[in-house]
Structure 1
Amino acid sequence: MFDRLHATCLSWAGAMALATGAALVAGGGGQARAADAAERAIIGFSPDGAYFAFEQYGIQDGSGFPYSDVFVLETATDSWVRGTPARELVRNEAVSVDQVRQTARKRIDPYLWRLNIGVNGKTLVSDRAADARDAARFLPFTLADDGDKLGLGTVRLRLTEIAMPKEDCTALGVSPHGYALVLENEAGEPLRILHEDTSIPASRGCPVHYGLSDIIVYPRSGEGPVLVVLLSIYQFGFEGLDRRFLALSTTFDTNPSTQ
């Protein structure tokens, strides 16, 4: 699986602030709140389910600058469409998030138009927790057969955090983690490993925790469904943990319980 996360670059105001922030993250417990908790908006799929788009947006902690990132995913390969994402960061606190979102949307509109993206999928589960300590790491869900025996049935996702070294994070006093994501059947037997880290990409910064945010299914006529999972990633930030999102996609030719 390809990891595609836009980690907003942060600047630290001197060594004292850096050391203090690292101590807060390393301390765990009550410091699991998201200082800059990005929001997300699902834009939709192309009619054939081949492409999926979503947005993350918010206000940077520390700087107070608004940002918006719009991602377009090719679902069969779990990779971003060339030329995307569209990222907007305005270094002016007086500019609103809505203004920045509009600018990012204008930049991405040609891609959405060309790929015909805008068809709704079915959001089966949506976890609105903003804090790492409340984020879901195990979610069951059901998508009934629609007559062609290609529904997912009753399955569940299990997210596991994996302690993993990353030199620049360790130097800050942060204990970084990667993750594994497995699709299981109702009995808890693995159907498919959707992702398993062997190292932490530089794009994630210093990830401390992860959470399951959204499970989205797009049924395809005569084929198995497309499954998209949005995960929260809680990374080291200026005032605490900053939440960003990453997306994973997989497709099924038939019901996964028979694969």
Structure 2
Amino acid sequence: MPLLSSLARIAIRSIPGLLPALVLAGSLANPARAGDTAEAEIYGFSSHGDFFAFEQYGTQDGSGFPYSEIFVLDVIGDTWVKPSPFRRLDEVDETNGYDEEQVLNETRERNQEAAGSLLQDKGIFGKGKTVAFNPPTELTANPYKMVVAPRLPLVSGETSIELTLTEYPLKNSECAGYDVNTKGFRLTMVNNGVTRTLNDDTSVPDSRRCPFAYRIERFFTYYPDQAPPVFAILIQMESLGFEGPDRRYLAITGRL
């Protein structure tokens, strides 16, 4: 049984050194072709809201190998807590066939064991709630805007929170060589009449693997008893994949 099987699911992946091989697949950034979409498991916040953790996992397009990535973040600094992220990709011998679900579960269990000490040290206990969810299958939703009640029941004087994402062209020289028009994004939050810029890209990190689309996917909040409330936002990103666009996640955290 997975170490953290009682917590809800999420996913993220980055496979260094894969891009040259991807070019052989042809027009890889065409959204009409199949890629792979990571699943996500939210491990939640620590008891005081100082740390947040999640996992992204799935089966890699092209190779069919199972992968798992676990991220632990310093909420206020909005940075990874070392030695996070924990990334695992297991090669599978397909000679006699295999049970895809079983090998993925085994990969996740091994990665959860690797991350277990850090998760325990930072006190990740599944605190917090999902207050908004906008999957790509929800075709009527606006991928660039969320207006959210931060908790229920609303406390007197509290207002809704508005998130707005804006994409813009942002060139990456390596990705341009693969004929991918990469993009960055700006994310703003309006809370109690105050507008904050949570992200404003000036370059495209290599870890995003040639991204060309973003959407606001999930919004989490947590109201500790003896600390200020905190949030985590998952941004779903489409990037260069082997058989088509791959969907992965970015997390942005902070205090409300």
Task: Give the TM-score taking structure 2 as reference length.
Answer: 0.83
Specify every segment of 5 or more residues in structure 1 that has no aligned partner in the other structure, as ranges: 26-30, 253-259
Provide the residue aligned with 1:160 in structure 2.
166
Output the amino acid matched with 2:178.
Answer: L
Identity percentage of aligned residues: 33
Provide the residue aligned with 1:205 in structure 2.
209
Provide the residue aligned with 2:122 in structure 1.
115
Provide the residue aligned with 1:69 in structure 2.
69
Structure whose residues are more often helix by fraction: 1
Matches within 5 A, 1:186-205: 191-205=195-209
Provide the residue aligned with 2:234 in structure 1.
230
Range moving further from structure 2, 69-78 or 6-15: 6-15
Q: Give the alignment partner of residue 106 of structure 1, picking from 84, 101, 113.
A: 113
Provide the residue aligned with 1:257 in structure 2.
none
Deviation by residue 1:193-215 (Cα, 9 ceiling, x = unmatched): 00000111111110010111110
Say whether 1:128 aligns with 2:135: yes
Deviation by residue 1:21-40 (Cα, 9 ceiling, x = unmatched): 24x53xxxxx2566110010
Provide the residue aligned with 1:214 in structure 2.
218
Question: Which secondary structure does the structure 1 equivalent of 2:15 belong to?
Answer: coil
Provide the residue aligned with 1:139 in structure 2.
146
Provide the residue aligned with 2:187 in structure 1.
181
Task: Give the TM-score taking structure 1 as reference length.
Answer: 0.82
**How far 1:221 moved relative to its partner?**
2.9
Distance of 2:89 and 2:32 partners within structure 1: 25
**How far 1:223 moved relative to its partner?**
4.4
Provide the residue aligned with 2:6 in structure 1.
none
Alignment length, in residue pairs? 237
**How far 1:14 moved relative to its partner?**
7.8
**How far 1:122 moved relative to its partner?**
1.4
**How far 1:127 moved relative to its partner?**
1.8
**How far 1:61 moved relative to its partner?**
0.7
Question: Which secondary structure does the structure 2 equivalent of 1:105 belong to?
Answer: helix
Q: Conserved in 2, the CA contact under 8 Å of 1:52 and 1:117? A: yes
Range moving further from structure 2, 102-111 or 89-98: 89-98
Question: Which secondary structure does the structure 1 equivalent of 2:120 belong to?
Answer: helix
Change (3 A) 1:67 1:244: same
Output the amino acid matched with 1:122.
Answer: K
Deviation by residue 1:162-212 (Cα, 9 ceiling, x = unmatched): 1011111111111000000001258xx761000000111111110010111
Specify every segment of 5 or more residues in structure 2 that has no aligned partner in the other structure, as ranges: 1-11
Question: Which secondary structure does the structure 2 equivalent of 1:136 belong to?
Answer: coil
Q: Conserved in 2, the CA contact under 8 Å of 1:32 and 1:132? A: no
**How far 1:153 moved relative to its partner?**
2.3
Distance of 2:151 and 2:233 partners within structure 1: 18
Question: Which secondary structure does the structure 1 equivalent of 2:231 belong to?
Answer: strand
